[in-house]
Amino acid sequence: MDMILRPGRLEDANACGMIVFEAFKSIVRQHNFPLDIPSAEIGIGLVTRMLSHPGFYSLIAEMDGTVVGSLFLDERGPIAAVDPLTVDPAMQNQAIGRRLMLAALERVAERRHAGLRLVQSAYHYRSL
């Protein structure tokens, strides 16, 4: 399966929000932490706000027409911030997250941000 990366659209909110919820649920359960995003509705709301805000850049990973991951880049300041970057738990370990992160680094360089911050959960070592 070939993966494409494309800018996010408002109609991606449901698919991306579900992935955000499922991805965070998966990692917190592995480490026995409480849920940061307690429901799919919260995830969808979060993603909808970012897709609707001009200060956020969104990137969608898609395979065969299905959203499999996303990255949101907060560009409201001189230092851009990645938060969140999520991949469907069923599609992890296929370098989707790596491709999203490399695209974010390219975007930061193109836009000449002073730096990039990765907002992450301290217990999620793989994200480093």
Mean pLDDT of the chain: 90
Instruction: Flag whether pLDDT at 124 surpasses 60.
Output: no
Predicted confidence at residue 120, as pLDDT, reads 64
Domains of the chain by range and CATH?
3-121 (3.40.630.30)
Which pLDDT tens digit goes with each residue over 68-107? 999 999 999 999 999 899 999 999 999 999 999 999 999 9
Question: Is the per-residue pLDDT at 54 higher than 70?
Answer: yes
CA distance to 12, 96, 109, 120, 123, per residue, from 38 (Å): 20, 24, 34, 17, 18
Structure tokens at 8: 């996010």
Return the pLDDT at 118.
Answer: 84
Spatial separation of the C-alpha atoms in residues 19 and 81, rounded to whole Å = 19
CA distance 86 to 97: 7
Residue partners of 113: CB distance under 8 A and separation at least 6: 75, 78, 79, 80
- The answer for residues whose C-beta is within 8 angstroms of residue 97's C-beta and 6 or more apart is 69, 85, 87, 127
The reported pLDDT for the residue numbered 76 is: 97
